[in-house]
Amino acid sequence: MYELGIVKRNITRADRRAVDRLAGFGVATVHEAMGRVGLMKPHMRPIFAGAQIAGSAVTVLLQPGDNWMLHVAAEQIQPGDIVVAACTADNDDGFFGDLLATSYRARGASGLVIEAGVRDVKVLSEMRFPVWSKAISAKGTVKSTLGSVNIPLVCAGALVQPGDAIVADDDGVVVVPAAMVNKVADAAAAREANESDKRAKLAAGVLGLDMYNMREPLQKAGLRYLD
Amino acid sequence: MYELGIVKRNITRADRRAVDRLAGFGVATVHEAMGRVGLMKPHMRPIFAGAQIAGSAVTVLLQPGDNWMLHVAAEQIQPGDIVVAACTADNDDGFFGDLLATSYRARGASGLVIEAGVRDVKVLSEMRFPVWSKAISAKGTVKSTLGSVNIPLVCAGALVQPGDAIVADDDGVVVVPAAMVNKVADAAAAREANESDKRAKLAAGVLGLDMYNMREPLQKAGLRYLD
Amino acid sequence: MYELGIVKRNITRADRRAVDRLAGFGVATVHEAMGRVGLMKPHMRPIFAGAQIAGSAVTVLLQPGDNWMLHVAAEQIQPGDIVVAACTADNDDGFFGDLLATSYRARGASGLVIEAGVRDVKVLSEMRFPVWSKAISAKGTVKSTLGSVNIPLVCAGALVQPGDAIVADDDGVVVVPAAMVNKVADAAAAREANESDKRAKLAAGVLGLDMYNMREPLQKAGLRYLD
Amino acid sequence: MYELGIVKRNITRADRRAVDRLAGFGVATVHEAMGRVGLMKPHMRPIFAGAQIAGSAVTVLLQPGDNWMLHVAAEQIQPGDIVVAACTADNDDGFFGDLLATSYRARGASGLVIEAGVRDVKVLSEMRFPVWSKAISAKGTVKSTLGSVNIPLVCAGALVQPGDAIVADDDGVVVVPAAMVNKVADAAAAREANESDKRAKLAAGVLGLDMYNMREPLQKAGLRYLD
Amino acid sequence: MYELGIVKRNITRADRRAVDRLAGFGVATVHEAMGRVGLMKPHMRPIFAGAQIAGSAVTVLLQPGDNWMLHVAAEQIQPGDIVVAACTADNDDGFFGDLLATSYRARGASGLVIEAGVRDVKVLSEMRFPVWSKAISAKGTVKSTLGSVNIPLVCAGALVQPGDAIVADDDGVVVVPAAMVNKVADAAAAREANESDKRAKLAAGVLGLDMYNMREPLQKAGLRYLD
Amino acid sequence: MYELGIVKRNITRADRRAVDRLAGFGVATVHEAMGRVGLMKPHMRPIFAGAQIAGSAVTVLLQPGDNWMLHVAAEQIQPGDIVVAACTADNDDGFFGDLLATSYRARGASGLVIEAGVRDVKVLSEMRFPVWSKAISAKGTVKSTLGSVNIPLVCAGALVQPGDAIVADDDGVVVVPAAMVNKVADAAAAREANESDKRAKLAAGVLGLDMYNMREPLQKAGLRYLD
């Protein structure tokens, strides 16, 4: 973990079909299907609303103020990948802009998740190249200190192994270990089937109190109604 | 205040007609009409731009990571109410999503103000169900510890009594005690009438320095002009 | 610096033609052309997306909770100016709203950069009066303590001299000393010319690793590729 | 609530004997005895370690950058009181220093709780005048805008009525409504008696798992032990 | 990773002798010996100054507002262990106090690292039971939702495997994978030997510029001296 | 301002005798004597309590994660100087530790003010080498990108010119322009003389309300006393 100066070329990507299914469910459903784990912290926000993607992670460990490894990572991208970048220290510099986005898109990347800053957000939005970041900043970076590509790393509080499935939408970003994508996609599908029925009932005025049979446990827990 | 395990069923709601008037003025005007008090802290942000609502507060005190009381609160909602939720500790979990929104809308709620996180924001935006929150997070919550419904509570630094009028728009959220809504609506109306005249003068190039007669007090305070 | 109770009337504005050129380049390019200095901190965010402006700074030093000097500053605005306001202490109050925006626009101001809060953001957005701020808040302010207008000040970590060129867009805000605007505009033009060629290559699939000749320095720095 | 420009002279202070008992228990115990409510947020920190006090609240609502009301409040202090100050906006200015501390001590105040900044902390520490604040700052304040004294207010997320009991130590600050001090003191005493027995058992190596009979509920909740 | 509801009983602890050596070097030296990786984020602060410890990690994943798993973890502690606790969401509640500390000490724990809040810090300081936390808060917690014990987790941005060596002092907390402790201890020893010589030279007035041969690379990088 | 890659060797230091006088007054008094300007933001905190120093600034502009310029700056230190370091981006890395402190002390530096992180704080405290910083972190830094020494810079929101007087104590850090030190020292002396008299009156029970003649302006402002 976190060895510096390394690029791992061969990584095992999550099953593409399962990843595509995950994209359809969105982050909240996948997170629940995972057993409520794997979520990145909520300071990771999309630079524009409405994108909902999933892909396999190409991971990048950056040094503060230095985006060299984002260039190194480009070569490792395969179509459908999502680049996931973390930094060895909290840093809001603009590590990524429209030129890198052009390159990443040419390589087939679906998007970027970076616990740091990005810039050229107007152009990125026009390109519809989705980015989840913790800051927007025009601050430029140097290219002088090595990090690594495709090592396990922690991004926004979540462990990411290269090849893991990443799902991202307006609610944030969740990580699904590559070995679990099929199981999680199945669980998500079951959950979603279940939800449309619930939604209809709730829309018709049925209370969750009744639909979920909460009244008895609430009473046992000691809830008192006062007039 | 803050007694746990209680649901108060009968609350005195602010006068509906006055509340509707408040909705028209918006938060900044109402806050001024209140004498510059009652405002929630500015970390409360709308999940989509453009909503401007007012309603009576159904209050909910939550425990961290636990949204049980939001289900209990649904039953207490009457048409036009705004649910106001606070948590006993700072917590950004996603306490509220599209299923609860469906239920709340079916009950007639106009919106939600929650000093915590929400999820399914894309669907909530499509539904045009307005929420003011301090975070967006897909993180799920449990249903195991009691809070309370319709007790006085502090939300984002403002005291909220059940039944108080809540006004919310892109500028934030303000609380108007139920007993004051008519008086505040009148003051807001007076202020607004006054403002359109000022706006016209300022648009015509009159300086606030002259319109507000500031030159003399500025001079008295010692302001010096240098060339 | 920071002398209180002063309004400087005659300031030397940056060359208008060069300022207009800067507006076309945007913040990231100008920041690079400056040698990667002069940027405000990334907590300065636009209240609506898409504005991209440049102008000469009319500077305002405010006291916490007090917007008196914003009224004083209005008189010093000339067409094309950008008002840059800082506060002697961190404060998120709503110092600026639609009335002041009406007045500033009547004076010809292109926008406002304020390290504090603003309100009436819905109206400001409809007016398309661009503001970069660190908060949105309906909280009103008083008019009782002097600050200064057109003194050098620090705004969001950047030194601003009255008359300096300010460039602002969705990436943030950068300050260009008045004496440097022509030189910086030339450097920005050169950089931009250079970028379109790079963009085309990257879009065609050329890697930055090759285009920027990074492979050799990476190897020298010790980068290892593993399979 | 929050009416500005008011000083309430006659307030009903919490029973002194009960308040003194609360001082002996400390904040964590009193907070538990309250039913886990009434706590201020954890950003309220003591300026020096080791103080543990209780007293009746004299409340002060301040305006940002303005400490006028702290002078007005001095006259309302009775021996054993704790001054509790909040501000209408987040502000870290140094509202309180050694001169005010000298005055407050002369009036018999036991300490200060202020959701803002203080200064002269070296002298305050030497005087052993305890202060809980959210910041330390030398920044001076003006005396020009009215707040109020002895109105109900929200300080660090907790509602404080004038006369309420305040307990503060290295763990933070808790508010006990004046009418509840005897009941809370009794509950705290019962809890503390209970704790010394528990402490002895735990020190002897008994596990909380056994002492609190947690093994069965953990098993029911589904906990699995793996080797 | 992050499976909930699990207690792993048999973990492989880092070599005790090597861990003891690490304790002697302190965090900064061990972090450098690791190749500048493995550090927790700097918001992890000791509750009292001067402690410097190392031990093997017993990991605990907590739910917000719920300290049940800290009780479960007590049984898994062996002499010399350090408990490392993280929470599924940011939460500053007081999960740990003097009773748990008494129990942990009876089990032989050397200390606690918790990315959450602790309470009873005065007593903990008197007991000299060292804790590194991100907050101090008297806020009590419930015991109702499962987390896990001895699973891999992320604490303050660092991946921690059960059994990993933890080193903590006034500079923060660093994690050394169990398999690397001997190698890291050797590297730290080499580094420290090297440092005392450097320290002597610097104390004698030799400049780092000369001692580290920086003048030539600085010149190459383009550094210019002006008079 | 902010030109990178420059070391200015000859700077005009503030008058030493006046600087020594400033050290005696402390930060709050000097800040008031300055007219309430020049203060750094309150996130700048001392690593140990009790130090109170003044000296002339040797300024250092750092790049994120890179402490090269702190080594370059050592050569420019003269006895009594205080090194003031800022970074081009927010970064909490540990830029400074006991080796640099040994070197700085050998050069005669009185202390360090750095808007970034420091490490080895236990040793620095034992050495009594005072540092004001915004973070404590063991995180190491590289030496590869140029910043500058002895250029004007912004540190924690305050403009610092090389040679300016810096005063630092437990209340924070204030900057006094070199040209103003004598005037400010005189004003501080006058203020302090004035304060001891006030302190005696307040200690004797005289109210600030009377001593400062506040009753009339309070009444004019509309303050109402209620029983």
What's the gap in Å between the CA of D122 and the closest CA on chain F? 6
* pLDDT attached to residue C196: 87
Note the pLDDT tens digit of each residue in C145-187: 999 999 999 999 999 999 999 999 999 999 999 999 999 999 9
* pLDDT attached to residue E2: 64
Instruction: State the first-to-last Cα distance of chain B, in angstroms, to the nearest integer.
Output: 59
Residue B128 has pLDDT above 70, yes or no: yes
Instruction: Verify whether the Cβ–Cβ distance A174 to B92 is below 8 Å.
Output: no
What's the gap in Å between the CA of D100 and the closest CA on chain F? 8
Alpha-carbon distance of A143 to F204, in angstroms, equals 65
* pLDDT attached to residue E22: 97
> Global pTM?
0.97
**Nearest residue of E to residue B146 by CA position?**
E142
What's the gap in Å between the CA of B123 and the closest CA on chain A? 10
Note the pLDDT tens digit of each residue in B155-175: 999 999 999 999 999 999 999
**Those residues with Cβ within 8 angstroms of residue F139's Cβ, 6 or more apart along the chain or in another chain:** A88, A89, E31, E36, E39, E42, F92, F93, F94, F117, F119
What's the gap in Å between the CA of F225 and the closest CA on chain E? 36
Residue C1 has pLDDT above 90, yes or no: no
Asked if B touches F (at least 3 Cβ pairs < 8 angstroms), the answer reads no
Contact in structure between D99 and D56 (CB atoms under 8 Å): no
- Those chains having 3 or more beta-carbon pairs within 8 angstroms of chain D are B, C, E, F
Contact in structure between C88 and C62 (CB atoms under 8 Å): yes
- Which residues in chain F have their CB less than 8 angstroms from residue D117's CB? 42
Residue E205 has pLDDT above 90, yes or no: yes
- Pairing outcome for strands B148-149 and B53-62: antiparallel
Angle at C86 between CA D89 and CA F70, to 5 degrees: 110
- Those chains having 3 or more beta-carbon pairs within 8 angstroms of chain E are A, B, D, F
Rounded to 5 degrees, φ, ψ at E79 are -50, 135
**Nearest residue of B to residue A208 by CA position?**
B71
> Is the sign of the CA dihedral D159, D161, D165, D170 positive or negative?
positive
- Which residues in chain A have their CB less than 8 angstroms from residue B140's CB? 28, 31-32, 36
Counting one residue from B and one from C, how many pairs have CB atoms under 8 Å apart? Answer: 110
* pLDDT attached to residue F150: 98
Q: Hey, is the C-beta of E36 within 8 angstroms of any chain F C-beta?
A: yes
Note the pLDDT tens digit of each residue in E67-90: 999 999 999 999 999 999 999 999
- Closest residue by Cα to residue A54 from A166, A151, A145: A166
* pLDDT attached to residue C147: 97
Rounded to 5 degrees, φ, ψ at C144 are -140, -15
Note the pLDDT tens digit of each residue in E40-65: 999 999 999 999 999 999 999 999 99
Residues 66-95 of A with CB under 8 A from C: 68, 71-72, 74-75, 92, 94
Residue E165's DSSP bridge partners are E56, E176
Residue whose pair of structure tokens reads 């080797």 in the numeric block:
D227
pLDDT-derived band at F25, boundaries 50, 70, 90 = very high
What's the gap in Å between the CA of A159 and the closest CA on chain E? 7
Alpha-carbon distance of B116 to B131, in angstroms, equals 11
Out of E6, E7, E106, whose CB is closest to D205?
A: E106
Rounded to 5 degrees, φ, ψ at E75 are -65, -25
Rounded to 5 degrees, φ, ψ at F78 are -115, 155
Alpha-carbon distance of A195 to B123, in angstroms, equals 14
Residues of chain D with pLDDT under 50: none
Q: Tokens standing for C157?
A: 């970590």
Instruction: State the first-to-last Cα distance of chain F, in angstroms, to the nearest integer.
Output: 59
Residue A83's DSSP bridge partners are A58, A112
Out of D4, D35, D154, whose CB is closest to B158?
A: D154
Residue whose pair of structure tokens reads 């999820």 in the numeric block:
B119
Instruction: Verify whether the Cβ–Cβ distance B172 to C98 is below 8 Å.
Output: no
Q: Hey, is the C-beta of B3 within 8 angstroms of any chain D C-beta?
A: yes
What's the gap in Å between the CA of E227 and the closest CA on chain B? 34
Residues 92-151 of A with CB under 8 A from E: none
**Nearest residue of E to residue B94 by CA position?**
E89
Angle at A203 between CA A200 and CA A206, to 5 degrees: 90
Alpha-carbon distance of E149 to E146, in angstroms, equals 10
Asked casually if ipTM beats, i.e. exceeds, 0.90, the reply is yes
* pLDDT attached to residue C2: 64
> Is the sign of the CA dihedral F1, F2, F8, F14 positive or negative?
positive
* pLDDT attached to residue E196: 87
Note the pLDDT tens digit of each residue in F7-20: 999 999 999 999 99
Angle at E8 between CA E7 and CA E13, to 5 degrees: 135
To test the contact with chain B by mutation, choose from E93, E118, E137 the residue with the greatest count of B C-beta atoms within 10 A, namely: E93
Contact in structure between B94 and B137 (CB atoms under 8 Å): yes
Note the pLDDT tens digit of each residue in F189-224: 999 988 889 999 999 999 999 999 999 999 999 999
Out of E106, E125, E139, whose CB is closest to D202?
A: E106
Alpha-carbon distance of F30 to F27, in angstroms, equals 5
| Helix (H), strand (E), coil (C) string for D90-120 | CCCCECCCHHHHHHHHHHCCCEEEEEEEECC
Mean pLDDT taken over chain D: 97
- C161 backbone φψ class: left, alpha, beta (φ>0; ψ -120 to 50): beta
What's the gap in Å between the CA of B138 and the closest CA on chain E? 11
Out of F92, F102, F138, whose CB is closest to E202?
A: F102
CA distances from D225 to D215, E6, E131 (A): 12, 6, 27
- Cβ-in-10-Å burial (0-12, 13-18, 19+) of A196 comes to exposed
- Which residues in chain B have their CB less than 8 angstroms from residue D158's CB? 154
Residue B48 has pLDDT above 80, yes or no: yes
Alpha-carbon distance of B191 to B25, in angstroms, equals 10
- Closest residue by Cα to residue B191 from C98, D145, D61: C98
Out of B75, B119, B144, whose CB is closest to A28?
A: B119
* pLDDT attached to residue E111: 98
Q: Which helix (H) or strand (E) holds A215?
A: helix A215-220
Alpha-carbon distance of F216 to F227, in angstroms, equals 20
- Which residues in chain B have their CB less than 8 angstroms from residue D187's CB? none
In order, the DSSP letters of D10-47 are: ---PPPHHHHHHHHHH-HHHHHHHTTS--BPPTT-EES
pLDDT in tens, chain A (227 residues): 568 999 999 999 999 999 999 999 999 999 999 999 999 999 999 999 999 999 999 999 999 999 999 999 999 999 999 999 999 999 999 999 999 999 999 999 999 999 999 999 999 999 999 999 999 999 999 999 999 999 999 999 999 999 999 999 999 999 999 999 999 999 999 999 888 899 999 999 999 999 999 999 999 999 999 99
To test the contact with chain F by mutation, choose from D58, D60, D71 the residue with the greatest count of F C-beta atoms within 10 A, namely: D71
- Closest residue by Cα to residue F200 from F190, F184, F211: F211
- Which residues in chain D have their CB less than 8 angstroms from residue C118's CB? none
- Pairing outcome for strands C81-87 and C53-62: parallel
Alpha-carbon distance of D37 to A17, in angstroms, equals 50
Instruction: Verify whether the Cβ–Cβ distance A139 to C39 is below 8 Å.
Output: yes
Contact in structure between C54 and C22 (CB atoms under 8 Å): yes
- Which residues in chain E have their CB less than 8 angstroms from residue B63's CB? 65, 142
Share of chain F above pLDDT 90, in %: 97
* pLDDT attached to residue E213: 97
Mean pLDDT taken over chain C: 97
* pLDDT attached to residue D3: 84
- Cβ-in-10-Å burial (0-12, 13-18, 19+) of C2 comes to buried
Note the pLDDT tens digit of each residue in C97-149: 999 999 999 999 999 999 999 999 999 999 999 999 999 999 999 999 999 99
| Helix (H), strand (E), coil (C) string for chain B | CCCCCEEECCCCCCCHHHHHHHHHHCHHHHHHHCCCCCECCCCCEECCCCCCEEEEEEEEEEECCECHHHHHHHCCCCCCEEEEEEECCCCCCECCCHHHHHHHHHHCCCEEEEEEEECCHHHHHHHCCCEEEEEECCCCCECCCCCEECCCEEECCEEECCCCEEEEECCEEEEECHHHHHHHHHHHHHHHHHHHHHHHHHHCCCCHHHHCCCHHHHHHHCCEEEC
Note the pLDDT tens digit of each residue in B51-69: 999 999 999 999 999 999 9
pLDDT-derived band at C194, boundaries 50, 70, 90 = confident
Residues 166-225 of E with CB under 8 A from F: 169-172, 174, 195, 198-199, 202-205, 207-209, 212, 214, 217-218, 221-225
- Which residues in chain F have their CB less than 8 angstroms from residue A145's CB? 65, 142, 144
* pLDDT attached to residue C179: 96
Instruction: Verify whether the Cβ–Cβ distance A4 to E35 is below 8 Å.
Output: yes
**Those residues with Cβ within 8 angstroms of residue C58's Cβ, 6 or more apart along the chain or in another chain:** C11, C73, C76, C77, C81, C82, C83, C84, C109, C149, C150, C162
Residue B201 has pLDDT above 80, yes or no: yes
Instruction: State the first-to-last Cα distance of chain C, in angstroms, to the nearest integer.
Output: 59
- Which residues in chain D have their CB less than 8 angstroms from residue F205's CB? 106-107
Q: Hey, is the C-beta of F37 within 8 angstroms of any chain D C-beta?
A: no
**Nearest residue of D to residue E65 by CA position?**
D36
Compute the residue count for chain B.
227
**Those residues with Cβ within 8 angstroms of residue F201's Cβ, 6 or more apart along the chain or in another chain:** F211
- Cβ-in-10-Å burial (0-12, 13-18, 19+) of E20 comes to middle
* pLDDT attached to residue F1: 52
Alpha-carbon distance of D175 to D20, in angstroms, equals 14
* Three-class SS state of C146: coil
